[in-house]
Amino acid sequence: MSSFSLLYFGQPLLDISAKVSVKVLKQYGLNSNDMILADESHQPLYKEVQDHRNVTYLAGGSCQNSARGSQWLLPANSTCYVGCVGRDDAAKKLREAAHADGLRVEFVVDESLPTGKCAVLITGQDRSMVTDLQAASKMSAATLESNEIWSLVENAQIFYTVGFLLKGSHDAIMKVAEYSSANNKVFAFNLSAPFLPEVFREELAQVIPHCDYLFGNESEAKAYAKANNLKTSSIRDIAMHLAKIPRANASSPPRTVIITQGPDPVIVATIHGVKSYIVPQVRFSDIVDTNGAGDGFCGGYLAALAVGKSTRLCVRSGLFVAGEILKQEGATYPKTAPHSKPWDEFSIEGCCSLQ
């Protein structure tokens, strides 16, 4: 496997995490288990969290979470992540956090805006997340055109990005998607959030024909069905519809659509049919935090794909990584990766089987 065969591009955020009192939530008008975009009233919050004695920093953003998950399982120099940051201390912390996870990052610096960040406020088992995108929102086709960044694109075999980039960075998605289709490489995409298929329906319609792998969860799949008048709520039917959308390159292999449903079976569709894979149950007492489990699933799936594994073993790898994240605080991974990989046939008993 060549160096950096997996290339992720997304919206890098410095996650600033601390345990806080309910009083802090009330002060900023926040709910205990929520995710919002910051406005001016939230700006003092970031310094308050950074000054907390137990503050921790994490290389965040959903796409970067997935990239760290892939790299956790793969040999060194397998995964690279591209995004936009500011020229500030937050960018330095973000690089340090990514490097601590073995992830190579190539950040394009936007001189006009600070690095994006997310305040993660922990109260008990709940997390309130307040995101300020700033420079992270500045990814564009022009961002990718420098020799240093585009050489990474040319050397990679698998690309992955997320629906959040449909807003403001659609041209960047299309540049890589079109290149991938024209050069018989692998392009993977995540629907990311239920509001995106409706708000960015036309932009998404341009992306899907280029997708070799399309990820989403049941809420996102149903939102896509509603936005596109499919008149069905069956996840299997929606997945099959997505699989049958014609490819941009008629000679490309069939698209694989992967829909997760929390503890319910994972649905996988191609034009040849639909399969469902049983999700191994994690004891409730072992679950620390559900944040990032979906990101981990994609990272695990793509890691197995990068080493040439079958769909079943890719799903198995994704479920294993998602299960490990459930047992951690935040979207983090154990310091040591398993010696026996989840795609090894006999590594993890009963980790994934057909329903």
Q: What is the enclosing helix (H) or strand (E) of 60?
A: strand 56-60
The tokens describing 66, both together, are 């997935």
Active centre residues (catalytic): 295
The label of the residue with tokens 């620390």 reads 288
**What is the C-alpha separation between 1 and 175, in angstroms, rounded?**
24
CA distance 61 to 44: 21
Going by DSSP bridges, is the β-strand pair 6-9/213-217 parallel, antiparallel, or unpaired? unpaired
Q: What is the 3-state secondary structure (H, E, C) of 85-139?
A: ECCCHHHHHHHHHHHHCCCEEEEEECCCCCCCEEEEEEECCEEEEEEECHHHHHC
Packed helices 62-73 and 311-326: angle between N→C axes, nearest 10 degrees = 110
**Distance between first and last Cα of the chain:** 32
Instruction: Take residue 235 and report the two structure tokens written for it.
Output: 């996840």
Half-sphere exposure of 318 (CA within 13 A, CB side): 32
Give the ranges where 161-228 is alpha helix by DSSP (H).
170-182, 196-199, 201-207, 218-227
Q: What CA–CA distance (Å, rounded) separates 151 from 199?
A: 33
143 Cβ neighbours under 8 A, 6+ residues apart:
82, 84, 108, 149, 172
